[in-house]
Structure 1
Amino acid sequence: MTRITSAIAAAALTLAALPGAAQEPVVRSHVEPDSVMIGDRFDYIIDVEKDLVQVVEFPSFTGSPEGDFELVEEFPVDTLLRDGRHLKLRKRYRMAAFEEGNFNLGAAAVLYADKNILDTLRGRDSVYLRVNTFQIDSTSQSIYDLKPQKTLPFRMAEISGYLWWGTLVLIVLVVGLWGLVRYLRSRGKRLGDLFRPAPPLPPHVGAIRALEALHNQKLWQNNRHKQYYSGLTDILRTYIAGRWGVGAMEMTSDEIIDAMRGIELPDKARMDLTSLLRTADLAKFAKMAPDAEQNENDYLKAYYFVEETKPASEQAEEPEGEEIMKN
């Protein structure tokens, strides 16, 4: 009989040690402190004791639906005790109370998962909180009117620092303005010249700069022939409009060629303009992709068209060295 009793006890201990025989987690909760003033904060704490292989998930919430409580901060889960397979976990929620009274926060609940088990575990005891407010005895307190505004006497020391600094800044400004006026007079200019807008660039100067900027974009090298020829023709249209007053921006290529017939141009410039406009139409509307040599030649045609047709006064001002190089 003693042997049978010992065997049963050993089997019970063995089953208790198996993971599947582990007891359900124990859930407890409390608040710290359990009595606060209205607007103060308190900690809602949930403790869970469980086996190592058991999984629990603590709740997430923002406060009460009625607005009596509000979540201020949620702390990560902390391990209070670890003894072999036995764990004690703690979850802390920092809350704020905004309504006076005695509140039953209920029993804490956690989600429990173990093998094929999925359940909600609740604590045994409910949690209570007392929220107090300030008691005002209106019978012993008198009501006073608002105090009138008190007028203080003016003292010079209050603004003396501002006056000294303001005077110093004014002197610096006057001296700087006087020096600027003298500098401008020495160069034959007036103060009003500083605020005049810069004169517009001559059409040929703007065209040359635009052509150089377009060339640096390397559009046709990246198979963007349509954008390249659109840029070339737009620059020439702008130059023609500024140079001769022709509405080239609203004209087709044929209309531009017809309009330029009545303008005296070098034969080469006229032929270059016509050839460039024809090629541009094919590249923009017929999706033609000219080769590298033609792309560079069309750029040079546009460049030299501007150079050969700019005002005679601008050409006369070129240095003698450049004339010699051209010859």
Structure 2
Amino acid sequence: MNKNIILLILVWLLSAVNVAAQSVTVEARIDSLQILIGQQAKIQLQVAMDAKQRAIFPTYVDTLVSGVELIETSKPDSQFLNDHQRILITQEYTVTSFDSALYYLPPMSITVDGKIYKSKALALKVYSIPVDTLHPDQFFGQKAIMKAPFAWEDWYGLIACSFLALPFLGILIYLIMRIRDNKPIIRKVKIEPKLPPHQAAMKEIERMKGEKVWQKENPKEYYTQLTDVIRNYIKDRFGFNALEMTSTEIISELLDIKNKEDISELNYLFQTADLVKFAKHDPQMNENDANLINAIDFINETKQVEEVNQKPQPTEITIIEKRSLRTKVLLICGIVFLSTALLATFIYIGMQLYELFA
């Protein structure tokens, strides 16, 4: 007997747990019980059930009840509870009314696994807009359409785009003319002539005179510049590379061309320069002046006669260049880019004008 009682109690407990696990609750709420004609209210319908169950919410076409119109039905919003064992589903209905009255909203039905569950009934009071019938003179007819006031802010974009379009258009026209004009590019280059050797040497010496290099307390720098001028002159005048030769080698080469007496003073100049640069010789001021005069005399005595009155003229060279494929591609790309930019600018200007005057 005791065993049967215990078995019955266990069966009852299991049934109670199963029923509790499968309990379904439906609740309906409205955010505003009172509205004016044309205002909106939201009805929230919720169902709490087991996560494994399936619910079907009511579907309304145009009206909830006669006089209460349905504006919008939102998508259901789901929220899991109790570690995903239960689920809470919420759906909202937006309603309005254009007739003043107290409306009874009947219970809303939800079908869960084939069984219908109902919410509690709701009420909605719709008020008309109060009208002062004692003062009819305060009623006004329909107002005329007012034009928006002029504001420069509305035109900033158009003005900026217009100014931007002008240089784009000018560049586009220039590129189109360039691509149509397929003539070769002709450039004239003026080449300044090279001075004769003696003139170039005297120019450097005049520079040294202007800077008064020999008066500075650095004789090594003075003799280095002076011998470099002479070496360059010898290279250009006599045709051998005096820049890469020693002083002795230069004098030896010149002896094959000139007499020993003609280059004796130059030999003295080179000897003094070598002493200054390699033996730290400190020449006197008059010795520096004498070597400068020796350099000038050597240049004047060895310069070519035909160069004395010769005045070199600049040479002008005409260069004809055909337009390369790369240039054509760049021109075409520039035309396409500017055309697209101008088209987009004009479309934007047209849309803005349409919005302003529509």
Query: What is the TM-score of this pair, normalised by structure 2?
Result: 0.35
Of structures 1 and 2, the larger Rg is shown by 2
Query: What is the TM-score of this pair, normalised by structure 1?
Result: 0.38
